[in-house]
Structure 1
Amino acid sequence: MRTIDAHQHFWRYDPVALGWIDPATALAQDRLPPDVRVAMDRAGIDGSIAVQASQTEAETLWLLALTERYPWIAGVVGWADLCAPDIADRIATLRHPRLVGLRHVVQDEPDDRFMLRDDFTNGVRAATAAGLAYDILVYPRQAGHVPAFLDRVGDGRFILDHGGKPPIAAGGWQPWADAIARTARYPGVWCKLSGLVTEADHAAWRPDDLARYVDHLLDCFGPDRLIFGSDWPVCMLAADYARVHAVAMEHITARCPDHVDAIFGGNAKAAYRLPDQ
């Protein structure tokens, strides 16, 4: 079984294009595929999916070019202006065997109902019609709109990033928990076990802090719709690659040992329709 880390980022650091990065952190430098390859090998991870970090089509083309230099990057979740009236043409321009999905950083939109806009939902429908998955990136305050969004966009493959970003550091539960339960009722939605350490206390988190949130995701989505992702290098704000992988593996092995292969590879392949290698 091929193992997949379904959420990584790569960039050449640019403080303007990557304005969300705090320049005082370890993220404020180039982060490229060779920088994570040794850690992946040690964790037994064969390949990855590269996910957009800046909202430009130029970055998407750059990520797709990386897949040709580093064939272990199995797919790219890129960006295109989903609100553009010519979105179908834009997607056609980006067409590449390794383009497996698109994402918009909805969490940064000031309007919590942004994902319900007609132009945006039309763009997402164009993406799914082109055979692409769509990654959903929202904060809990926006997550309550996800079911209505799914009703509007219709059939497709959707992946909820970072477990819907639960408020782990504050020990919060609602409205996140209800939004997860409602979203999981849609069979075309998978959920990534990714980015959880950076929702916890960066300096003092423990595996137990994450456990009830991971258990809720397992209970709602089931092990056949959960996907491991490291969120490297963003995870480095709270933990190195080895620890992120080890904590996830320990919990999944204890909770659903028969589904380790699915969560660490098979589900990503199904959700993103990854090409065989």
Structure 2
Amino acid sequence: MRIDAHQHFWLYEPVKDAWITSEMEVIQRNFLPNDIGQTLKNNGFDGVVAVQADQSLRETEFLLELSQVYALIKGIVGWVDLQSEQVEEQLNHFKQFPKVKGFRHIVEGESDPDYLHKDAFLRGIAALTQYGYTYDLLIKPWHYESTLKCVAANPKQAFMLDHIAKPPIKSQEFSDWAAFIEKLAAHPNVHCKVSGLGTEADWKHWKLDHFTQYIAHVIQCFGKDRLVFGSDWPVCLLAGSFKDTIHIVSDKLTDFSPEELAGFWGDNAVKFYGLT
């Protein structure tokens, strides 16, 4: 099954979606499965993983409602308050919905460098492990150390690194990010989404070779069976089309076998998230 492991859907609201700034005008509107369905078919995709874009329980419910209407949504990475004393009640509630596969917090928006290693957050991760949910890591460089501590403290938790940790592609800086990736990938319970790369480059002037060293490094560190593709649609539209997002990655996979390509473009995501 060919899967886009990272898509967002929303009904645009200027206050709720204040992160969508004026320079992002192209995505200042509603985006729903109908807007991407034909494009997915044209590019051979069978379905998507819908990932939260808002920090609310309502967001998870919204994605669930969409999944009941649109069969292309094969799995959901939602949001719960992982630091809440009622986190287990929230997880138990969502356990009745098989399409909810995991959860994410927008840690990149948190200024605390130790956010992922706070006691309350670690209790939430432990609850995810207990309930069999995945966790998507969305981080910035100042979270590198707490990310490594969090992962080391939770060896039985399935982690997915979003957007290969958002490397500084625009400036072509490499060493700090590369060292972090090498350390993180040493943990076998961490997988990686090759996603969201166009928006880390110069939106208007990127070239395919701007991404080469970053993609090569995650392939080397994670291996081919722990990588999945994600478009980060519609956010990817800031830097190009859906097809551009595919091209950024596809020309870097020349040494993948047919089985490894099938894994990258879908089978690895199916296994990680338990999609059907």
TM tier relative to shorter chain: over 0.9
The letter of the residue matching 2:154 is V
Give the Cα–Cα distance (whole angstroms) in 2 for the partners of residues 145 and 172 of structure 1.
21
Shift of 1:272: 0.8
Task: Tell whether the 8 Å contact from 1:102 to 1:132 is kept in structure 2 after alignment.
Answer: yes
Shift of 1:249: 2.1
Q: Tell me whether 223-232 or 166-175 shows the greater mean CA deviation.
A: 166-175
Q: Tell me whether 137-146 or 50-59 shows the greater mean CA deviation.
A: 137-146
The letter of the residue matching 2:68 is E
Give the Cα–Cα distance (whole angstroms) in 2 for the partners of residues 226 and 144 of structure 1.
22
Partner of 1:38: 38
TM-score with structure 1 length normalisation?
A: 0.96
Give the Cα–Cα distance (whole angstroms) in 1 for the partners of residues 33 and 47 of structure 2.
11
The letter of the residue matching 2:73 is I
- Deviations along 1:8-62, one digit per CA (max 9) or x if unpaired, are 0000001121121114511110011111111111111110000000000101011
Partner of 2:83: 83
The letter of the residue matching 1:17 is K
Task: Tell whether the 8 Å contact from 2:211 to 2:248 is kept in structure 1 after alignment.
Answer: no
Shift of 1:255: 3.1
Shift of 1:141: 2.6
Give the Cα–Cα distance (whole angstroms) in 2 for the partners of residues 186 and 178 of structure 1.
14
Task: Tell whether the 8 Å contact from 1:195 to 1:231 is kept in structure 2 after alignment.
Answer: yes
Give the Cα–Cα distance (whole angstroms) in 2 for the partners of residues 15 and 100 of structure 1.
29
2:36 match: secondary structure: helix
Partner of 1:251: 252
Partner of 2:10: 11
The letter of the residue matching 2:183 is R
Give the Cα–Cα distance (whole angstroms) in 2 for the partners of residues 257 and 154 of structure 1.
30
Shift of 1:271: 1.1
Q: How does 1:237-276 map to 2 (within 5 A)?
A: 237-252=238-253, 254-258=254-258, 259-274=260-275, 276=276
- Runs of at least 4 residues off by over 6 Å: none
Give the Cα–Cα distance (whole angstroms) in 1 for the partners of residues 145 and 219 of structure 2.
19
Task: Tell whether the 8 Å contact from 1:61 to 1:94 is kept in structure 2 after alignment.
Answer: no
The letter of the residue matching 1:84 is S
Aligned length in residues: 273
- Deviations along 1:82-128, one digit per CA (max 9) or x if unpaired, are 01011000111223110001000111101011000000011011012
Partner of 1:133: 134
Q: Which 5+ residue runs of structure 1 have no aligned equivalent?
A: none
- Deviations along 1:129-183, one digit per CA (max 9) or x if unpaired, are 1111000000123123322111223311110000011100011113211110000
Task: Tell whether the 8 Å contact from 1:60 to 1:78 is kept in structure 2 after alignment.
Answer: yes
1:123 match: secondary structure: helix
Partner of 1:178: 179
1:50 match: secondary structure: strand
Partner of 2:49: 49
The letter of the residue matching 1:156 is Q
TM-score with structure 2 length normalisation?
A: 0.96
Residue 188 (structure 1) aligned with residue 189 (structure 2): yes
Q: Tell me whether 209-218 or 19-28 shows the greater mean CA deviation.
A: 19-28
**How large is the RMSD of aligned CA atoms in angstroms?**
1.1
Give the Cα–Cα distance (whole angstroms) in 2 for the partners of residues 212 and 43 of structure 1.
26
Q: Which 5+ residue runs of structure 2 have no aligned equivalent?
A: none
Task: Tell whether the 8 Å contact from 1:75 to 1:100 is kept in structure 2 after alignment.
Answer: yes
Shift of 1:236: 0.4
